Structure 1
């Protein structure tokens, strides 16, 4: 059972990772990258489950065919290799769908033919003695079964070399840390896969030479395969999860930074600012930006460009940078417009003639970064100082 746990525990980990990804895969089913990740996690978990000695014995008993599990596991390993290649193609060349389709088709057909040959060689071969742990070296000199073993190992080795070289090459490029971490993990995982292949080839070669190195295939290779089957999928998932985490952190930060501006304009929206979700930072940020822009549009007729220009000049005189001076000036213009709106509502002069007001400055189309700067500088002492003077002047209008 201990041997089974060596396989079942990492398989359970991969199954949990797949369950965590399923909502996103269902939501974005048209995304080939997400589908490839899901397929790869599923096949990796299946490889570990069916390669466990207890499962091998159970499958053999259920089918009544000695060593039926051997071609089953070899086919799953072949499919796993193809799934990883498919994922790396989607990952690296996702911006060229036509190339992705051609490359994916080529690799899928190639490894599909290998899977068919594995099954065919097992059918025409003869493996009557059940071997749960040392099938490869035991049948290393059996016609057709020998070719079946070599075929799956060669297919596995080609994928391992390809993935190791490509991922190592890409990890040396100027990329973000999440992607580099994922690529290095994939390199480590496929290096273990190459170690697995070396152990298997060595044990088989020793049998051909009349020696017994079965321990390499029986005791060293399986743990290496089990560890690599976890590291490789995690390596693929890390960049996606890391990117998602970075986006969430950025959105939460922007959401918090917009709080002063949202609070300042809150009473301009009927019912106050609405929060659609407590868990999705992107949705909350989008809603807050929309509410702020709606409030700015409400103030649009009262925005005073001349006031903004005067405030901008004053802010520059106080040593602020151009960007900060612009943000201070627009904060002054917004607060002054809000104050004017409140006075007009109190005086019941909603229909007052605004044609003599200076041409308004439309802030609703400003990029979020500028809104963040306005929100950050909203409580700057200059804003309070410059909004007092316009209040007294505007009361005489």
Structure 2
């Protein structure tokens, strides 16, 4: 388990550190970023040092034997102290946060000093053991060392979970709240590492072997540590994730709307504020995507307004009936009706008499879509889906014939 869990946790925490180091490079004087990078560095170093493929050769080469474990354990204690200090500095005013943070730093230093003393007194310099706890759980001074270590780290993790959950209630910003919750969950999971290790050491000294606890503890440490590292960077990373998701959403909407826009542009070129030199290729121009999507919505709406005298209610009723028979929702039925009217109206531009004879014209058009750009975009995307994939009816009659004719005409134009 160690061979898999710790390298994965090391990769996650190192990636989080690298991400924040890029921000620190842009703003090297930011104390919050410096503190966060130091915190993530402790986690990354601890998990890298705990990886057997790294820990064993380095310890042997440096002649540290199992004293190298002090580096691993010390890194996790330092990580716990750094997270607590950072959370206090984030949330409380300096006059309150500084004394509390100082007490935690002093407590961590005392624990580390005691661990150094215990490890120095323990007779463990004869070999380098891959499974330190399992090998030395009953060795003099090591049981005390291990129990002090897991107690100190566990207390810190419980405090991290408590502080994160408390601060999340007043954080306000959504991604900050999510980051605090994720950090709290990660700390709670890592607490399982401390509990399983502590119980294992106590049981071994009572001549009870609970090897399953020893095997599972590294999974708790790796998963919890990775979640804490992600939680610490999520407030900064989250808005960028949201922006990326919005961009892909805009890209999808743009590609769905474009065939409808191209159809109305081919029939009514004057609707375009900035006519493209190559209309069909414009679909693959992805620069200024938000603006281009905004223009598509406006220009489609303007075209619809210009076509209002050509919109037939009979065609809309026929499309609505087909959509209902296909099991479409009420909104999809309305979108299908709108798309059918637009197809027929675009075909009938300049042929008012012909379109009038196919059914009753809509005398007055009520506002369509939402009351803002987002609502209009949502509506026209639904209309574009129906426009791009019109219903196929082998025996189309009455008001459906203009729809079929329009579909065929548009395919020939494209």
TM superposition score normalised by structure 1? 0.57
Residue of structure 1 aligned with 2:101, choices 76, 101, 104: 104
Q: CA deviation at 1:69?
A: 2.0
Give the match for residue 232 of structure 1. Answer: 228
Structure-1 residue corresponding to 2:278: none
Deviations 1:202-260 (CA, angstroms, capped at 9, x unpaired):
1112112211013312x10012111111110111111132356679999xxxxxxxxxx
Contact 1:183 1:236 in 2 (8 A): yes
Q: Tell me the CA shift for residue 173 of structure 1.
A: 4.5
Confirm or deny that 1:206 pairs with 2:203.
yes
Aligned match of 1:320: none
Q: 1:182 aligns with which of 173, 179, 184?
A: 179
Distance 1:11 1:176, change over 3 A: same
Q: How far did residue 175 of structure 1 move? A: 2.7
> In the aligned structure 1, how far is the partner of 2:191 from the partner of 2:178?
20
Q: Does 2:119 match 1:122?
A: yes
Matched, 1:139 2:136: yes
1:155 maps to which of 152, 156, 170: 152
Equivalent residues in 2 for 1:323-334, closer than 5 Å: none
Rounded Cα–Cα distance in structure 1 between residues aligned with 2:172 and 2:209: 46
**Other structure's SS at 2:28 match:** coil
Q: Distance in 2 between matches of 1:244 and 1:104?
A: 31
- 2:51 alignment counterpart: 52
Partner in structure 2 of residue 13 of structure 1: 12
Gaps of 5+ in 2: 247-286, 289-414
Map 1:305-384 to 2 at 5 A.
none
In structure 1, stretches of 5+ residues that fail to align are: 251-277, 280-397
Task: Give secondary structure in 2 for the equivalent of 1:29.
Answer: coil
| Counterpart position of 2:194 | 197
Q: Does 1:220 align with 2:222?
A: no
Question: Where do 4+ consecutive residues of structure 1 move more than 4 Å?
Answer: 243-250
1:145-184: CA deviation from partner (whole Å, max 9, x where unpaired): 2221111111101111111122223334573321221122
**Match of 1:126, SS?**
coil
1:11 Cα deviation from its structure 2 partner: 1.7
1:33 aligns with 2:29: no
Q: How far apart, in 2, do the equivalents of 1:248 and 1:97 lie? A: 36
In the other structure, the counterpart of 2:237 is 241
Partner-residue secondary structure (3-state), 1:67: helix
My pick for the range that moved more, 178-187 or 4-13, is 4-13
Deviations 1:43-102 (A, max 9, x none): 111111111112221132112243122212111111111111122112222xx2343333
CA RMSD across the alignment = 3.0
Count of matched residue positions in the alignment of Structure 1 and Structure 2: 252
Separation in 1 of the partners of 2:31 and 2:105?
15
